[in-house]
Amino acid sequence: MPSTILYGHPVSQPSRSCQWFIDFTNQKVQIVAIDTFKAEHKKPEFIEKFPNGQFPALEDGGFYLSESMAILKYLARNDLRFTPKDSQQQARLDEYLGRHYSTLRKISTDFFRPFMLGNKDMIEPGYESIKNILEKFDARLGTQPYVLGDSLTLADFLFVPEVDQLQVVGERYLEPFKNIRLYLDRLTRDVDGYKKCFDEMTQAVGVIQAAHRRRQQQQQQQ
Amino acid sequence: MVMKLRWHELSMPSRAVAWYLQYIGQECELVSVKVFEGEQKSEEYTAKHPMGQFPALEEGDFYLSESSAILQYLAEGRPELPTDRLERAKLEEYITEHHTTVRFLSSECFAQCAYVKENSTATKEEREPILAYRVPIITFILKHYEYVLGQQDYICGKKLTIADFLFCCEVCGCRYLGIESNCNNNISKTHTQTPSA
């Protein structure tokens, strides 16, 4: 068994970023799925290694690391394809990271999560709150093939698992953003590991939604 | 090449960058963004900084926003940006935590201020529930970092890094609102250790 372990979940967008990157770069990393229904990430043995109790989380020998961008950068350190050529290119990636967590993450927190948990009333307001940032990135992807320019970078690995959720909620939510649609189609076709990443997510979403429906039915019967 | 920073003194990320520039002795023109007049949404501004945010660095034709990106760019080759793989990874880990959690400190504190300012005629009973939910979250965050700073001298371990500049500025926001929990002795110690802004 590899000594490097990634703890994650197939629906967690940051986990998907890391797992997809591991598949794409063919690294020997064991993937361990966190059982969120049993709150495994809040148990003492997990907290001892990862005090903030979050995933994805990477264990490499005795080194413990959380936060998806930190994990991606750590895994990509020796890969020349993902090494920025100069400090300005590095700065662009860091700039994207700041933007990602302050704006793009709302796609998951304010739009996709309500859908998964069956909170229908929150989906449309959530969509309204993310339209602006989607328009900006849709415009950008009309002029360049990847989020930061002409080549695939770690930014794409973070960006994709957020935006590909739009179509899972409903095709009409992605429909206005034609460049993002074309970008996702291109990555499905050309980038190793992405289709598997997407399919695993849709399967896991189905399982979670079914579990929530059962729980709601049980509560109504009581 | 002449450097310019578009900033605002009430923006904690702006203050972190301005402070770091002063600390490293980097010459840079500080230009206040006229936030309340909406300068950050103007064509001139968004032509260089499409997301309309600040702080934003301008160096010749190179334009960069996001405080953590600017700090990393400025700290290239300096001790505040570790080169050791594991130390760097821990800094990256903090930077993301900063964006997802620690930033709540100043953004929520200022939301409180704005609410109080806009609802100055509201009674204490009317204001309390609105403000009440923020204080426990802020206290929770401070407690966590109080614990971290009890184990090590700086946010990322034994050495001063750009993380400390980011963190300290967020904590300042809490002090402004008088949220001094009785558990932030370690945070105060670090704040004193980090060179004053």
Beta partners for residue B64, in sequence order: B57
Residues A9 and A15: beta-carbon distance below 8 Å: yes
> Tens of pLDDT along A111-146?
998 998 888 899 999 999 999 999 999 999 999 999
**Partner B contacted by A220 (CB < 8 A):** no
- What secondary structure letter does DSSP report for A175? T
Question: pLDDT at position B191, please?
Answer: 57
CA distance A133 to chain B (A): 9
Question: Token digits for A58?
Answer: 């990477």
Q: Which amino acid is at A140?
A: R
Residues B5 and B13: beta-carbon distance below 8 Å: no
A193 backbone φψ class: left, alpha, beta (φ>0; ψ -120 to 50): left
> Tens of pLDDT along A20-72?
999 999 999 999 999 887 888 889 999 999 988 899 999 999 999 999 999 99
For A9-13, A103-107, B112-116, B190-194, which range has the lowest pLDDT when averaged over its residues?
Answer: B190-194
pLDDT category of residue A76 using cuts at 50, 70 and 90: very high
Question: Token digits for A8?
Answer: 């994650």
Question: pLDDT at position A119, please?
Answer: 85
List chain B residues with CB under 8 Å of A97. 66, 68-69, 95-96, 99
Residues A3 and A61: beta-carbon distance below 8 Å: yes
> Tens of pLDDT along B54-77?
999 999 999 999 999 999 999 999
CA distance A62 to chain B (A): 11
**Partner A contacted by B66 (CB < 8 A):** yes
Question: Token digits for A163?
Answer: 């935006």
pTM of model > 0.90: no
Q: Which amino acid is at A217?
A: Q
Q: Distance between terminal CA atoms of chain A?
A: 46
Mutate to test the interface with A, among B51, B106, B155 (most CBs of A within 10 A): B51
| Nearest chain B residue to A51, by CA | B144
Beta partners for residue A64, in sequence order: A59
Residues B113 and B177: beta-carbon distance below 8 Å: yes
Question: pLDDT at position B179, please?
Answer: 58
Global ipTM: 0.73
Question: pLDDT at position B112, please?
Answer: 64
Question: Token digits for B182?
Answer: 């009785």
**Partner B contacted by A63 (CB < 8 A):** yes
| Nearest CB partner across the interface for A63, out of B50, B70, B86 | B86
Question: pLDDT at position B37, please?
Answer: 84
Question: pLDDT at position B196, please?
Answer: 47
- Calpha distance B16→B162 (Å, rounded): 9
Over chain A, what is the mean pLDDT?
Answer: 91
**Partner B contacted by A74 (CB < 8 A):** yes
List chain B residues with CB under 8 Å of A90. 72-73, 76
Other C-beta atoms lying within 10 Å of the C-beta of residue A4: 17
List chain B residues with CB under 8 Å of A53. none
Question: Token digits for A175?
Answer: 């429909």
**Partner A contacted by B49 (CB < 8 A):** no
Q: Residue A159 pLDDT more than 80?
A: yes
CA distance A218 to chain B (A): 31
**Partner A contacted by B95 (CB < 8 A):** yes
- Calpha distance B22→B12 (Å, rounded): 15
Q: Which amino acid is at A106?
A: K
> Tens of pLDDT along B153-186?
999 999 999 999 999 888 876 666 555 544 455 6
Tell me which of B174 and B89 has the higher pLDDT: B89
Question: pLDDT at position A180, please?
Answer: 97
Instruction: Find the helix or strand (DSSP H, E) in which A66 lies.
Output: strand A63-66
Question: Token digits for B76?
Answer: 């290239």
- Calpha distance B144→A131 (Å, rounded): 34
pLDDT category of residue B143 using cuts at 50, 70 and 90: confident
Question: pLDDT at position A208, please?
Answer: 84
Q: Residue B137 pLDDT more than 90?
A: no
Mutate to test the interface with B, among A95, A103, A105 (most CBs of B within 10 A): A95
